[in-house]
Structure 1
C-alpha cells in the first residue's frame, strides 16, 4: 500500500514540478504562528486579491477564526512544508464556508508567489468543490478582481461562470453550479 493511502482524510503529500514536497491538509490551531509569519511574506497584490482590500497584518482574532473553522459550516486546507503543524511554513490556503439559510457556499484561495504557477490553485479548488458537494452545496462562488487573470482563467477552465459585480468596478463573481456535471478531484490527482 502506498504511503499516500495511509495519510489521514484530506491529507495529501505531493511533489511540485520544482521538486519541492508539500503537504496539503486541513488547517489546524497550531498553524496560527506559521500562518501569521507567512502572511508577512505576502505582497500587497496577493493580499488584495484574497481579501479584496488592503490588509496590513492578520489580527489575533483573524488568525483564531482562520485556524479554528467550524466543521459544520466551513472547511480550510493549507499547503505547507511536510513538517508538523506549528513548525511548517504555510504557502497556500483554500477555504470554503456555507452561507446560512442557503445551499450556497463561498470559497477563497491564496497561493503565495513562492509556489504559484505549480497547479496548487487548481488542486485546492478541486478539493473545496469535493467538500462542498459532500455538504450538498448547489452553488459555489467567489469574488475575483478582473486583473487576477490566472484565477479567472483557472475557474473558467473548471466550469465556473463569471458575472460583473455592478457595485464594485473591476470585480467579478465567479460561480459553479454543483448540480451540473463539472470536473472534480477524481480527474486531477496531481498539480498541473
Structure 2
C-alpha cells in the first residue's frame, strides 16, 4: 500500500519553477476572504487585464459569487498555498462558465505577478479545457485586452484563434475549437510536479 494520500478530483500539487509548491483545487466559499484580501496586492494593470476595467476592490458579493460557481454550468480553480481553504493565500484563479445553448463556454484567468511566468496560467487553461470537453462544450472563448501580450501569447500557443473585429476597441476575442486537434490539448501532458 502506498504511503501517499490520494488527492480528491481536480486537486493536484504544482511545483513552481522557483521551488515553491501550490495546490491547484476547485475554488471554495472559504476562499472569498483571502481573495478579497489579496486584491489589494494586485497592480492596477493586473486588475484591468482581468476585469477589463479599473476597480479599487472586490466587493463581498463579487467574491462570494466568484467562490460559489453553479456546478451545473461553471467551474473555477485556484492555485493556492497548500493550506486550509480560507487560510491559504490564493495566487491564481481560473474560471469557465457555459453560455446559453451549452455549446460554448467563456473563460477568465488571473495569475498574480508573484507567480506569473512559472507555468501556472498554462496549467490552469489546460484544466479549463479538460472540464469544458467533459461537458461536451464545442468552443472555449474569452476576451483579452490587446495589451495583455502574455495572455495572448499563451492562448495562441495553446491553439486559440484570435478573431478580428472585436466590438470593443483594444480588445480581442480568442476562441479554441474543442473538437479539433488543437482543442485536445488538455488530454495528454506531463505531470505538474516532476522531480527537479
Q: After TM superposition, is the score higher than 0.5? A: yes
Q: CA deviation at 1:164?
A: 3.2
Whether the aligned pair in 2 keeps the contact of 1:49 and 1:144 (CA below 8 Å) is yes
Structure 1 64/113 Cα, relative in aligned 2: closer, same or farther at 3 Å?
same
Cα deviations across residues 86-140 of structure 1 (Å, max 9, x unaligned)?
Answer: 0000000000000022400000000000000000010000000000000000000
Normalising by the residue count of structure 1, what TM-score does the alignment of the two structures yield? 0.95
CA distance in 1, matches of 2:170, 2:47: 16
The unaligned stretches of length 5 or more in structure 2 are none
Counterpart position of 1:64 = 64
Counterpart position of 2:186 = 184
Q: What number of residue pairs does the alignment pair up?
A: 191
Structure 1 178/43 Cα, relative in aligned 2: closer, same or farther at 3 Å?
same
The residue correspondences of 1:1-192 to structure 2 (distance < 5 A) are: 1=2, 3=4, 6-182=6-182, 183-190=185-192
Aligned-partner SS, 1:123: helix
Cα deviations across residues 48-100 of structure 1 (Å, max 9, x unaligned)?
Answer: 11111111111111011011110000000000001000000000000000002
The unaligned stretches of length 5 or more in structure 1 are none
Aligned-partner SS, 1:6: coil
Whether the aligned pair in 1 keeps the contact of 2:13 and 2:193 (CA below 8 Å) is no
Normalising by the residue count of structure 2, what TM-score does the alignment of the two structures yield? 0.93
Q: CA deviation at 1:14?
A: 1.6
Cα deviations across residues 136-189 of structure 1 (Å, max 9, x unaligned)?
Answer: 000000000111111111111111000134421111000000011222252243
Runs of 4+ in 1 over 4 A off after TM superposition: none
What's the RMSD between the two structures over aligned residues?
A: 1.6
Structure 1 32/166 Cα, relative in aligned 2: closer, same or farther at 3 Å?
closer
Whether the aligned pair in 2 keeps the contact of 1:96 and 1:128 (CA below 8 Å) is yes
Aligned-partner SS, 2:13: strand
